[in-house]
Structure 1
Amino acid sequence: MEDPIDGLKNLESMTVNPDKHTLNVTWIERESKLLYTIFPANRLGEWEKTIPNIQQQIEDDLRSLNAFLTEVVQQGNPSDERWESICFNLQSVGANLFEMLIPSEVAKKVRDWKIGSPVIISTNEQWIPWELMYDGEDFWGKKFIIARSPRLSDSQDLPDKNRPESKGKRQIKRIVNIVGGDVPSSEAERATHLFSNLLPPEAVQLLAKQPISSLVKAIPGTDALHFTCHGHLEPHLLQIAGDKNKTRIENLLPETILRLPLEPGSLVFANACASTVPVLTFGKFSSFGWKFYQRGADAFIGTLGAVPVKYAFNFAEIVYRELFNPDEKITIGQAVAKAKEVAANERNLFWLLYCIYGDPDFSIVQQKNSKEEDHAN
């Protein structure tokens, strides 16, 4: 296994931010042990947490959380009193995860971190839902801008350790907008026009219910991919095609990602949704973010499971509105944080399920329109 310092080399290109913290996590499976280090290494030491059968416990907790969120969806618009009960019970689930996984010394340090600051989780595991940790004050996914930085060389099942690196400024001149099969017609129509007010029509290529072969042909020269499609656990795939049988034949598999002609430095947003109720699949769905990161995406936004489609679309709309803000340079971490804030104020709990892989300081260089360019000349 690599030295933790070497595992942080992929963070060197990220923007310097005095409030940014890096929590280095190493999972030693044979000992059922988690090792934690807070970097810079000359400031803080190493702590460990040994938890027998931890992966099974996490799976059980997420299954229980899935049932809880399903009941919340069925409530419609709850009264104030019922909403307080929902929040208290959800916080209790997060508090249990926090106490089970986080050493007390680390918990004490983290409580001193500035609210809203970026927290990089440099990790070799794919199954811990960091966003759901509740530290007694708030969920980490709301309190901080959490971003996973996978340490690829720590994972034996990832043969390609030479992750493609981006070069030059980040611009989104072309985006492929993928709308999958079985998305309700009204939401599919909204997804089709997601970028109508943000980018010129020629900058967006729509793929509606198209197979993986069409996606492969569309990707070269693309700066960003956006998926609005159903996420499935068995079989494990994103349903990009119109295949009603949800087979592996035409849809996007985690194994497929490493062969996609993705441009290094791309932005990928996989908005995995479900028809009416959530489907938590974290530990499997995380592999989409892991694979896209390995393939060279600078930033990947995904979910810990499939979010009900109406909530999923609203969330994406806010993220892109913030990211393409012509008056202010907004990072992807800040854009996601804003979308979470709006969702929380609307009593939508599903903001908790959104996660970031890669650089939370990813931002784009706004393109000047023709009038601005003429004026500048």
Structure 2
Amino acid sequence: MVSFSLSYPTDRGGDAARLLDDALTTRFGGENILVGVAGAVEGSADLRRRLAASAALIVVIGPHIPGVPEVPSRNLPDITRREIETAFELQIPIIPVLVGGAELPLETELPEPLGPLARQQYRRLHAGTLREDIRHLVDDLARSFGAKSENAGPVPAIRLILSAEPVRLFMPPPKRRPAVTIVYSTRQGDWVVADSSRPIRWWNPAIVARFVTRYEVDTSDHGADFHVRLPAKGGAYHFEASISVRFRVTDPAQIVRRAITDAAGLILKFLLEICRPVTRQFGPEEVAEAAAALDGRLAREVLVPEGITLYTRGTRLRLDDHARNYVRERESQRARRYLQERAKPRVEFHGFPPVAGAIPSLAWRDGSSSVGARRPPERLLVARAPAQVPAGQDLSVDVRLVTEGRPVHSDAVTARLENLLVADDGTPVTVTVHAPVGLHADGPLQQTVVVKPDEDPDPIRFGFGARTPGLHRIDVTAWAGGTFLGEVSVEVSVADGGPFRDGQLHAAPLNAAQARPGEVTMEVRFDGSRYTFQLRSDAALFAPVVESITNPPTAAVENAIKELQQLAGGGSRYNATMTREVIRSAGIQLWSELVPADVRDQFWQVGADMSAFTIATDHDVVPWELLYPLSAQRDAGFLVEQVPVVRRTYGQRRNARVGLRNPRFVVPPKAPTGAHEEIATIRAILGAADSEPITRADELLALINAGALGAIHFACHNTFSSDGSFIDMDGGRFKPALLAEASIRKLLAETGPLVFINACRSAGVAPTYTKMLGWAQQFMSSGAGAFVGTLWAVRSDSSARFATAFYRSLADGATLGAAALAARVEQQDDPLDPTWLAYTVYGDPFATAAV
């Protein structure tokens, strides 16, 4: 039986420590729980002997006693320092258990021998769920350190020995069946695999006397899915793995020799034996690296000693609930400490030490101040591909994450970048490439590297085969968990018999490379015949899912929007209950028909801890905001009711601030009813000076092209004709194509304004989602901080109330995503009006207003 050392302070551990002691004793036996009470006298030899016999040292850390001075560098709260130091010397795992709201000291607050304690994976016991937390902790210790426990869900037994019968004279020959092998046991204790081409003469007594039993062994292909818990580094937490395998018997004699009656149980045991050492190398915050290592270990066929060859079809690794909560808490702690440190000035002396009376230069952590200040180095996402290749030739896209100032190709295109926020122990960054059908991928389209503070990761290569002539665009994106960092695009021209010509290097900014806890992004790409989905989060990194379609969803989407517009316009005879059901059914149908089953399963895996949901898509007609996730066990409403939901379009910057300064208002002559009342209310919320609204198209365009546009709110109609989408203003039509210069020159990047097109129902001509998307793409690629528009025609009064609620929340300090969620929730007072579902928001869900 496994043993543990337990150390807890008698004055601070309280009931939690005593209950943990009781639970460990009940589970593992009193002789296997070696308690070292703080303050007890114990010789060094005895201490080393006790710890060496333990699988881990469990240290209970209670809260600080109010009124009693506490100096962690001298007095780690009532914990025997010798136990911890000795455990580090012996390389015994240490699991701090925090009770009563206690926190681990910072490494800088501890003496050098105790410093590593600050980096240990702790468990937390909460007062409200104390007994449940203790039970989970004890169960996890049993799983991590080899005590008998349940490690997998039930897997049906798979019989491999189909029959066994004694050999006798005149025995009938076995039936010839595919994928069944005959094995005989002999009187000498051997096993013989029958040769089907040489039948045995059962009338010959000498031959019959040689054998004892005839076995039929199943040698067909089998498949099974195993769901197992695998230990993380340190033993305090676990990963949950789903492993899908195929296998077949390749040594039937060995199956009989070992009397294997259940292949599933045998394979489960084997998988645990080979997977546990792999995941024990990685902590909970390294789930992506652990998944990659596990994939590498199981990528090739494996021979199980009992005579089975195993072929892994796929693995999926994620954190269990306790590990996910731990990672989220650590991320929050790091973010708080970063913000606290960033708020402090840092004094640096450059050159010779200052003489008396000299004024040292101040260097602020955010680089906002003064002479001699030094900023952390900036980073670039750099991609390079040949500009032209002959058809049929291979090519590669080389991607690098480079610190500014380090050498790149002479024709590199660079940009001034945000600082890349990198954790002390490195930050995983996932790079993904998206290429059209005409370029055939020769390997994985997604790779993860670790960016460390003082070094650049090795270059990444993505290989392709040039199949189809034409100009092909390859998009390269970088991600930290579900958080978008940056993107670049390269173009490759493929021609029959053409030359090979090198291309120039492209570089783009990498924003703060830190996964935001709970942020989930669903990438959706459509090439006319296939949808490619990829779900990304800080808890799991899923592979792309490709879904081929026979009929584009355009018509179905337009029909759904038409019905919602009728409801918004009051043209339906449904009552309130039926209206909700009609809208709900449209969302469920969208979820079940357009989102692949694998992506739906992935959504439920990460949904419990979701803090924001971003839809990354381009040139797509589907109103993804209408999604209503539903399963047999789960129904939490429309997606936009559950979490902040925003969009991002490719080419859009990630702005942490949305400009609300110097707001202007566009009210064309033919404005919707109540437009002037709407802008008066928004002026009051923003504290904006009274000014005449913009009515002329040339005045608006001049303001945009001058790069002087602040926040801008349109209270207007948006119309569509054969020429595309437009807003009818004095002096002509204002349309997305007029933003071409602003898009190329990024004229809105300096002010990063909010653009809100509150387009209400037009007389007989409804603005559609597809055409509103053109506005979003053009404004966001021009550098807007956020864009808000409607998916279908809405009521004038309802749209004004939505806008008011949105601006009020954003101006009061809510994030962009939270402001959208608050406006949607507030808009649901009329059950006959689906306006609250009609809005789409583009931008960073965590962005806040710059006022």
Classify the TM-score, shorter chain.
Answer: 0.7 to 0.9
Q: Structure 1 pair 114/190, CA: closer, same or farther in 2 (3 Å)?
A: farther
Q: Among residues 147, 151, 154, which one is paired with 2:650 in the alignment?
A: 151
Aligned equivalents of 1:100, 1:259: Cα separation in 2 = 39
- The answer to whether residue 575 in structure 2 is matched with residue 82 in structure 1 is yes
1:61 lines up with 2:557 in the alignment: yes
Q: Distance in 2 between matches of 1:207 and 1:183?
A: 11
Whether 1:123 and 2:617 are equivalent positions in the alignment is yes
Deviations 1:101-150 (A, max 9, x none): 11111112213414873112222333221101222232223233222222
> 2:511 — aligned with what?
13
2:736, 2:774 within 8 Å by CA — same for their partners in 1? yes
Task: Using the TM superposition, give the Cα deviation of residue 100 of structure 1 relative to its aligned residue in structure 2, in angstroms.
Answer: 1.7
Residue 374 of structure 1: aligned partner: none
Deviation per CA, 1:34-84: give whole Å up to 9, x if none.
112222597322212111122xx33333234313531453269x8xx8211
How far does the alpha carbon of each residue in 1:172-221 deviate from its partner, in whole angstroms, 9 at most, with x for none?
33011111232245x0221341333223443x65424x221111233443
Report the Cα offset of residue 151 of structure 1.
2.1
Letter in 2 for 1:33: R
Q: d(CA) in 2 for partners of 1:72 and 1:191?
A: 19
User: Structure 2 residue aligned with 1:43, among 523, 535, 541?
Assistant: 541
How far apart in 1 are the matches of 2:693 and 2:543?
49
CA distance in 1, matches of 2:541, 2:763: 47
Task: Assess if the C-alpha contact under 8 Å between 2:657 and 2:785 holds in 1.
Answer: no
C-alpha contact 2:720 2:771 (8 A) present in aligned 1: yes
The change in CA–CA distance for 1:352 and 1:116 in structure 2 (over 3 A counts) is: farther
2: CA distance between counterparts of 1:128 and 1:222?
A: 30
Give 1:97 shift.
Answer: 1.6
Q: Distance in 2 between matches of 1:279 and 1:171?
A: 30
- Counterpart Cα distance in 2 of 1:269 and 1:98: 28
Q: Which residue of 2 aligns with 1:255?
A: 737
- Secondary structure of the 1:279 match is coil
Amino acid in the other structure paired with 1:90 = I
Partners of 2:725 and 2:771 within 8 A in 1 = no
Q: CA 1:35–1:165 in 2, change beyond 3 Å: closer, same or farther?
A: closer
CA distance in 1, matches of 2:547, 2:771: 23
Q: Is 1:237–2:725 an aligned residue pair?
A: yes
Asked whether 1:228 is paired with 2:715, we answer: yes
Aligned counterpart, 2:165: none
Rounded to whole Å, the distance in 2 between the matches of 1:206 and 1:195 is 14
Q: Aligned partners of 1:19 and 1:336: how far apart in 2?
A: 18
Pick one of 696, 699, 708 that aligns with 1:214: 699
Is the radius of gyration larger for structure 1 or structure 2? Answer: 2
111, 135, 150: which one pairs with 2:629?
A: 135
The change in CA–CA distance for 1:280 and 1:143 in structure 2 (over 3 A counts) is farther
Structure-2 separation of matches of 1:351 and 1:93? 15
Question: Aligned match of 1:282 in 752, 766, 769?
Answer: 769
1:165 to 1:356, Cα distance in 2 relative to 1, 3 A: closer
Indicate if the aligned counterparts of 1:34 and 1:50 stay in contact, CA closer than 8 A: yes
- Which residue does 1:176 correspond to in 2? 664
1:289-304 aligned within 5 A: 289-304=776-791
The amino acid of 1:312's aligned partner reads S
C-alpha distance 169-129 of structure 1, shift in aligned 2 (>3 A): closer
C-alpha change, 1:114 and 1:211, in structure 2 (3 Å) is farther
Distance 2:781 2:550 in 1: 30
Over 3 Å counting, the alpha-carbon distance change for 1:240 and 1:263 in structure 2 is farther
Evaluate the alpha carbon distance shift between residue 200 and residue 39 of structure 1 in structure 2; reply closer, same or farther with a 3 A threshold: closer
d(CA) in 1 for partners of 2:601 and 2:737? 39
Note the residue ranges of structure 2 that are not aligned, 5 or more in a row: 1-434, 436-473, 488-509
Structure 2 residue matching 1:120: 3-state secondary structure: strand
Deviations 1:245-289 (A, max 9, x none): xxxx62221111233453442211111111578935122221111
Counterpart selection for 2:584 from 73, 91, 102: 91
Following TM superposition, by how much is the alpha carbon of 1:99 offset from its aligned partner in structure 2, in angstroms?
1.6
TM-score by length of 1: 0.79
User: Are 2:627 and 2:639, in contact at CA under 8 Å, matched by a contact in 1?
Assistant: yes
Residue in 2 that maps onto 1:371:
none
Establish whether residue 363 from structure 1 lines up as the match of residue 842 from structure 2. no
CA shift at 1:345, angstroms?
A: 3.0
TM-score normalized by the length of structure 2:
0.37
Asked if the contact 1:66–1:278 (Cα under 8 Å) also holds between the matched residues in 2, the reply is: no
Q: CA deviation at 1:28?
A: 2.4
1:25 CA displacement? 2.0
Per-residue deviation, 1:339: 0.8
Q: Is the 8 A contact 1:66 1:280 kept in 2?
A: no
In structure 2, relative to structure 1, the CA distance for the partners of 1:365 and 1:295 (3 Å cut) is closer
How far apart, CA to CA, are the structure 2 residues paired with 1:218 and 1:125? 27
Q: Which amino acid aligns with 1:26?
A: R
Would you say the 8 A contact 2:718–2:760 is kept in 1? yes
Q: Find the residue that maps to 2:550 and give its secondary structure.
A: coil
For residues 680 and 727 of structure 2, the distance between their equivalents in structure 1, rounded to whole angstroms, comes to 19
Contact 1:178 1:240 in 2 (8 A): no
Which residue of the partner structure matches residue 275 of structure 2?
Answer: none
Matched residues, number: 336
* Distance of aligned partners of 1:207 and 1:280 in 2 relative to their CA distance in 1, 3 Å threshold: closer
Shift of 1:341: 0.3
Identity across aligned pairs (percent)? 21
Q: SS at the partner of 1:119?
A: strand
How far apart in 2 are the matches of 1:335 and 1:181? 30
- CA distance change for structure 1 residues 19 and 276 in 2, over 3 Å: closer, same or farther? farther
Point out where structure 1 has 5 or more consecutive residues left out of the alignment.
153-162, 243-248, 367-377
CA distance 1:165–1:13, change in 2 (3 Å): same
Q: Counting strand residues as a fraction of each chain, which structure ranks higher? A: 2
Assess if the C-alpha contact under 8 Å between 1:181 and 1:239 holds in 2: no
Aligned to 2:550: 52
Q: 1 CA distance for matches of 2:518 and 2:556?
A: 34
- Higher mean alpha-carbon deviation, 212-221 vs 127-136, is at 212-221
Partner amino acid, structure 2, of 1:65? I
Provide the aligned C-alpha RMSD in A.
3.0
**How many Å separate the matches in 2 of 1:4 and 1:340?**
34
Distance change (3 Å), C-alpha of 1:102 and 1:59:
same
Q: 1:319-330 residue pairs with structure 2 within 5 A? A: 319-325=806-812, 329-330=813-814
Distance 1:197 1:120, change over 3 A: same
* Cα drift, residue 94 of structure 1: 1.7
The structure with the greater share of residues assigned to helix is 1
| Aligned residue type for 1:253 | K
State how far apart, in whole Å, the 2-side matches of 1:39 and 1:181 are.
45
Residues 1:272 and 1:350: Cα distance change in structure 2 (over 3 Å): same
